[in-house]
Structure 1
């Protein structure tokens, strides 16, 4: 495909003023709406639950595969362009777990309390052996945007956010693993940042900015 054709596809995607967000996560929806509004993109984000679309079966083996699966699923059932986010926390000393299973790490999808408790427990034996060494972690976000369910050229964007994993929860904002994700340069957890500061530097904020840059080509 030529660069001109790809540019036309990107331009066509912005002409649709409604996109389906392939997620029912209220935290993600709030972040997407704020970031898209700040970008002055003439797009209304509709959560798939508002259209009675159930979650897709995420049987991919990577963030990219799962993001595309979710975007195609939402687009097929809605008939609208769709954007999907597949994100998670990777901890190298745990073999990059919880990774793509972050939302259901403790066995129950979306239970932040249980997921955080399991991560703390899984890291405790490692902390006992290396008491003074910070445990690195990385938030990953992959976005996939499709103009229709069978779009042969999904737009893919990604963001990476480096930090450290705390021993206990810190901060009462955000969602997911935010209370355990420490940013040494800011001396703050992701859960203690304002929404504006988090959106500016987070993995999701980075990915959305990358996506918007591709749409403007």
Structure 2
């Protein structure tokens, strides 16, 4: 790093770290991008995510990271909710196949479960809860959503998780077929983290860009 860490993001996923930096850093003028680090950079353990909502799990991660580092910590919990599955996988999205973080296995299982579902009944949405926790216990949570329909097979090379199968409402491309900048503009994660920016700005003692 070129300077001391000022904000730590609760992810060990390099793809997500890059995505979160791309959303947050432009809104924080004068902030050195290298001062926004991930949980792996500070050797933080991954806490047990035993909450029953996206917001609860985001707060669990942010609280643990703030306590471990003494820095303001930002975390998110996100997932895919499918209408015909009653909102599942939901908070279990990352381990739907039984193997945490196995994107391909999760995709394959979900598509198999929906193999006989007609296009008009393949509605789904991404949800993201973004949380900021400071070492002194200040907490903020914001939510973002991206509704769409599920493709019958993965498409696209960008993104991660379920991005290759969600087609945002009004479009024809999956999230994984969108350019990263376009995905960040409309995504559930982009919405939640942009809504969280004023709280991050206040904590870091800066003014947001107009």
Q: TM-score, normalised by structure 1?
A: 0.85
Q: Give CA-to-partner distance per residue, 1:45-83, whole Å, 9 cap, x none.
A: 211111111211000011111010000111111111111
Corresponding residue number in structure 1 for 2:7: 19
Q: Cα distance 1:100–1:189, how it changes in 2: closer, same or farther (>3 A)?
A: same
Corresponding residue for residue 122 of structure 2: 135
Residues 6-29 of structure 1, C-alpha deviations (whole Å, 9 max, x = no match): xxxxxxxxxx96111111112210
Matches within 5 A, 1:38-187: 38-41=26-29, 42=31, 44-125=35-116, 127=117, 131-148=118-135, 151=137, 153-187=138-172
Cross-structure match for 1:197: 182
Q: Tell me the CA shift for residue 183 of structure 1.
A: 2.2
Relative distance call for 1:184 and 1:162 in structure 2 (3 A) is closer
Considering fraction of residues, name the structure with more helix.
1
Segments of 5+ residues of structure 2 without an aligned counterpart are 203-210
Partner of 2:207: none
Structure 1 alignment gaps of length 5 or more: 1-15
- Counterpart CA distance in 1 for 2:83 and 2:174 is 19
User: Over residues 92-136 of structure 1, what are the superposed CA-to-partner deviations in whole Å (9 max), with x where a residue is unaligned?
Assistant: 2101111001111101111100000011011124x1xxx352411
CA RMSD of aligned residues (A): 1.7
What secondary structure sits across from 2:60 in the alignment? helix
Q: How far apart, in 1, do the equivalents of 2:47 and 2:140 lie?
A: 19
Q: Deviations over 1:186-216 (max 9, x none)?
A: 2111000111101111001101110113445
Per the normalisation by structure 2, the TM-score is: 0.88
Q: Report the count of equivalent residues.
A: 196
* Equivalent-residue separation in structure 2 for 1:134 and 1:182 (angstroms): 13
1:46, 1:166 → 2: CA distance? 34
